[in-house]
Structure 1
């Protein structure tokens, strides 16, 4: 499990995991070159046959740290990797455990694909790197170090693929086909502190406006003033793509996102939390702190706001909006850490097409479409060394299964995971 404070992390568990991978994937460890980066992240290099192999490499990414979990509320213990049998074949089996979706499932699927290709005697034309981070859920220092190392060596990948979108159904009204949501960008992530410093005192004689009341008012004001919505280029292309396969009254609207942008902004804002997050910057107050005693007024009240900055916006614009929404100079707004939205990767061309082709081999009925990743991933650290950075895990995920990410009862169907291995094998074969 990742911990914000590295001193609290159980590092021997990470070491045992890497040792287990060496046992399970002997050909990969015997053939590929492995470096440990930032102490715990793994960077494999699979040398290609081309004389200029290093000029157009592929980077397949995943991370092996997970968010914390307790056994409370889980149908099966979160770290026991329980396989529940179905009807005697893979279609009914379900793998339960923390990390099955986020993101060890993808990591071992990549390794299964590499191991199988090596067993078949395959060698890629261009170099392939496997970058497996150890702290994606907290700092992302492993991915940052790996990207910096490749930059120092003059390596500019032709394709980077990390976790992100999945194969989903019912994503938009009128679309009957399952969709592979391939992230071509991701929202920025910023933590803001809202802080009120005020004279303390005994709770028996409170002033009308305590520090906590002022802070609460600021939080309510911010929540009541959402950021403006917009249809960015990636979402517009997604709509045009699905519009060609959509039936019903929204089909024509989806095919003309520029013309119907005002209507689409309203529809996306109201359809679901997921679609609302696609079209605007979002804020969520995640932590609150006040007095250290039940009978003492808070001398400092603070709220931490997790902000996901929309593509086309910026951290600077976000802070301006927050200050205007709060409209109180006694509430101090400061940036704790910040990451701007990622550039939009090409939605056509060889790198994009290699992913689309691999999806088609996985299941010809699946429609591949670009979209914007709302969560942060390690791939954002690679946008400085590659123009083609994508975010997609080749697994079918229902709404219920997506809801288990960072929550209880995380799980994946065995058949889905096995098909994902096929996706990575196809992708590797084309590189």
Structure 2
């Protein structure tokens, strides 16, 4: 099978057309046929990988590959996830599972659910390894591929893979999962493209706020119905966000970009030890991404009430999505939410909680290996920098077996491409995706 950019793109599009939408974790009868088809198609499209690497299926549909190197100690783990989030086809300009090619040449875009999140990385990893195996390359250390099947629903695939590796005594020297990307314009007045590499990720919680009452007919409402009490609690939570603060990885990020920043901000960032307290108060006004870097966030995502338009709610509930900045905990967040809501009749219940991850170092051999691959494959002008991963990923489970867990998607992504994740019109530019393949080749060859 020819390994050319055009054929690589063809394989990518073929895999994007398989609708591996996350399975309902509460439905034991959920149809996993798309995941089986995806697995079988990988075997067909990447024969060299499947002839040489050991593959096993974990937790039903997750995949773990092992490429034996000359030394089994201190392996490299490359992660991605197979599942994608659901789509509303009417919102898309192109078929979300058509993998249509829009435009021409290097500027062409592939439009499809999963183009970036996360089949872009998964297929780029396999393209890189298929070419290296075909060349006869043998890594100096073992290389594992860990492809979870239910990352988007916080499922058990990656956890199960970690348990397999832990039982075998595997302790990776470097784990790389999806995360930051090569961006421009995301940081104010920074004049070079930055490769923001997640050295930690925020914790994630779901909290329910519930107000209760006796119910009855809506024609005779009480003085303070449950819905009004809940609305007041929601507004209080919105109007009193968590305080801003500067965590070490964010401080490191601005110290790194300071020499590449225009105007007076160069000196402000370089002196962030002194200016940080002022900056963290300004950042929330500059956009949601900067806001999320400097505070724990809490936002109401779901509201439920009565069963009919003329019925009083016996209970009204708000679901709050909380993302914990390192240094905060689930317990401290609940204490603050109760204090801010200030109403003992509002029940505050934690539905699920995952603490912030440990912080991986942005120095040393593992970090320098990422930096070298970034510069060699993505451009010498690209500036790698530490970063707090704003969303949760499967990589958080790997912190149990490795001290060097990083989150980086090796593609140049525009603001529009980033905003399309989990939304309509998800897409990636062909040239950006092809450079990502080279990144994974360089990262593996550095072993």
TM-score range, shorter chain: over 0.9
Deviation at 1:140, TM superposition (A): 2.9
Counterpart for residue 248 of structure 2: 233
Deviation at 1:5, TM superposition (A): 2.9
Asked if 1:408 corresponds to 2:436, the answer is no
**SS of the residue 1:260 aligns to:** helix
Q: Distance in 2 between matches of 1:84 and 1:9?
A: 33
Normalised TM-score (structure 2):
0.94
Within 5 Å, which residues of 2 pair with 1:390-401?
390-401=406-417
Within 5 Å, which residues of 2 pair with 1:164-203?
164-203=179-218
Pick from 77, 85, 104 the counterpart of residue 67 of structure 1: 85
Pick from 277, 282, 286 the counterpart of residue 262 of structure 1: 277
Counterpart for residue 364 of structure 1: 380
CA change 1:171–1:8 in 2 (3 A) is farther
Counterpart for residue 44 of structure 2: 23
Counterpart for residue 249 of structure 1: 264
**SS of the residue 2:367 aligns to:** helix
**SS of the residue 1:137 aligns to:** helix
Asked if 1:429 corresponds to 2:431, the answer is no
**SS of the residue 2:96 aligns to:** coil
Counterpart for residue 11 of structure 2: none
Contact 1:136 1:143 in 2 (8 A): yes
**SS of the residue 1:190 aligns to:** strand
Deviation at 1:139, TM superposition (A): 2.3
Could you tell me which runs of 5 or more consecutive residues in structure 1 were left unpaired when the two chains were aligned: none
Cα offsets for 1:163-182 (capped at 9, x unmatched): 00000001222211000000
Within 5 Å, which residues of 2 pair with 1:202-351?
202-351=217-366
Q: Decide which moves more: 259-268 or 331-340.
A: 259-268
Contact 2:254 2:270 in 1 (8 A): yes
Normalised TM-score (structure 1):
0.97
Cα offsets for 1:375-408 (capped at 9, x unmatched): 0000001001000000001001101110100000
Cα offsets for 1:281-335 (capped at 9, x unmatched): 0011111111112211101111111110011111111101110110001100011
Asked if 1:134 corresponds to 2:155, the answer is no
Contact 2:68 2:139 in 1 (8 A): yes
Counterpart for residue 26 of structure 2: 5
Counterpart for residue 374 of structure 1: 390
Counterpart for residue 40 of structure 1: 61
Cα offsets for 1:63-104 (capped at 9, x unmatched): 010000021121101011111241xx2x12110100001000
Cα offsets for 1:159-202 (capped at 9, x unmatched): 00000000000122221100000000000000001111211111
Contact 1:4 1:139 in 2 (8 A): no
Cα offsets for 1:325-370 (capped at 9, x unmatched): 1000110001100000011101100001111000010210100000
Q: Distance in 1 between matches of 2:444 and 2:192?
A: 26
CA change 1:263–1:381 in 2 (3 A) is same
**SS of the residue 2:264 aligns to:** coil
Counterpart for residue 76 of structure 2: 58
Contact 2:62 2:158 in 1 (8 A): yes
Q: Distance in 2 between matches of 1:389 and 1:138?
A: 21
What is the aligned length?
Answer: 425
Contact 2:25 2:155 in 1 (8 A): no
CA RMSD after TM alignment = 1.0
Runs of 4+ deviating beyond 6 Å: none
Counterpart for residue 399 of structure 2: 383
Q: Distance in 2 between matches of 1:122 and 1:402?
A: 34
Could you tell me which runs of 5 or more consecutive residues in structure 2 were left unpaired when the two chains were aligned: 1-20
Q: Distance in 1 between matches of 2:246 and 2:138?
A: 42
Counterpart for residue 100 of structure 2: 82
Within 5 Å, which residues of 2 pair with 1:140-179?
140-179=155-194
Q: Distance in 1 between matches of 2:253 and 2:29?
A: 42
Deviation at 1:7, TM superposition (A): 3.7
Asked if 1:115 corresponds to 2:130, the answer is yes
Deviation at 1:4, TM superposition (A): 4.3
Deviation at 1:8, TM superposition (A): 6.5
